[in-house]
Amino acid sequence: MTTAPSIRPAGTSTESDALRALYADWAEIIATTPGLTMRLFRSIFDEWHQPTREPEDVTYREETVGGVPGIWTLPAGADAGKVLLYTHGGGFAVGSAASHRKLAAHVAKALGVVAFVLDYRRAPEHPHPAQVEDGVAAFTALVSRGIAPGDITTIGDSAGGNLAIAVPLALREQDLPLPGRVIAFSPWLDMENAGATLVTNDATDALITVPLLEGMIAGVLAGGEIDPTTPLANPLYADFTGFPPLYVNAGGVEALVDNATRVAERAGAAGVDVTLSVVEGMQHVFPFLAGTAPEADGEIAAVAAWYRRPTTRQEHA
């Protein structure tokens, strides 16, 4: 068992301790609770919102879009014609729209847009590609409502960051219009557990371990029935030709940091406009500290600046 780090990395804020402490608590519960049921496992991860301050001047509305339930985050004065399609993290098995609505709202507010956070079907009850299919269904439903594809941004964290990347790849396979931008916070892409930082950052990541990922992989890949190199499950094997502008980040001490660096390198090699942000000392999906820690607020501000910059990318018909 890996012991969670107890010393704050040099140069990080005291406020950033909140996320590391939450992860350490989860890791302890997982390690010491034999026979942990899926229901209890999911209830633990629904605490993910705790380090996030409730954003001001944001309302929420539940709805089903394209057959997929979720939560709208509606900042006051936001442009309702521009939408973040947010897919939550949690290894495809845990996490929810409820656990991620505050994070999505912070990003939407900073960008001046609205967000729809999906409660997509989760593994192991619904293995790959159910999650990708739900993302595609919600995207096409938004387009059918009159939202321009280029005004939709797919965004997500961890496994949801995987989906934020996979949904445009699936849309391209179906000759459908692509989103205008893609944002992936600490994406988990490697279904082979081959990343070097799983080893080098094992002692500094407060949550992620190889055994934890192995369990998640078994669920989403149907116990090994699905090839772990399938591009829509593992975008590290995808062809990124014609992919939208991509913003990808990671925390410098997390075990999945090289998932972010590898996808940035692969997409960049295909000519994609890629922005990579690795923030030293930060844990997995550190934007969860939005409204609480300066590192998260600074990162979201950087995403907003990236979002507003002019782009010359040609839209896909």
Residue 11 burial class via C-beta count within 10 angstroms: exposed 0-12, middle 13-18, buried 19 and up: exposed
> Which one of 16, 99, 158, 186 is the catalytic residue?
158
Handedness of CA 120, 167, 237, 303 (dihedral sign): negative
Phi, psi of 270 (to 5 degrees): -90, 5
Angle 139-118-191 from CA coordinates, rounded to 5°? 90
How far is the C-alpha of 286 from the C-alpha of 186, rounded, in Å? 8
Q: In Å, how far from its chain's centre is CA 52?
A: 15
225 is catalytic: no
Residue 11 CA from chain centroid, whole number: 25
Q: Which residue has the tokens 């505050």?
A: 102
The length of the chain is: 317
Q: Which residue out of 128, 186, 254, 295 is catalytically annotated?
A: 254
Decide if 126 is catalytic.
no
57 CA to centre of own chain: 24
Q: Which residues contact 310 (CB under 8 A, 6 or more apart)?
A: none
What token pair was written down for 100? 């991620």
Catalytic residue among 88, 106, 126, 284: 284
What is residue 168's three-state secondary structure? helix
Give the separation between CA 36 and CA 228, rounded to whole angstroms: 26
Element (H, E) at 139: helix 130-144
Does 254 qualify as catalytic in the annotation? yes
Catalytic positions: 158, 254, 284
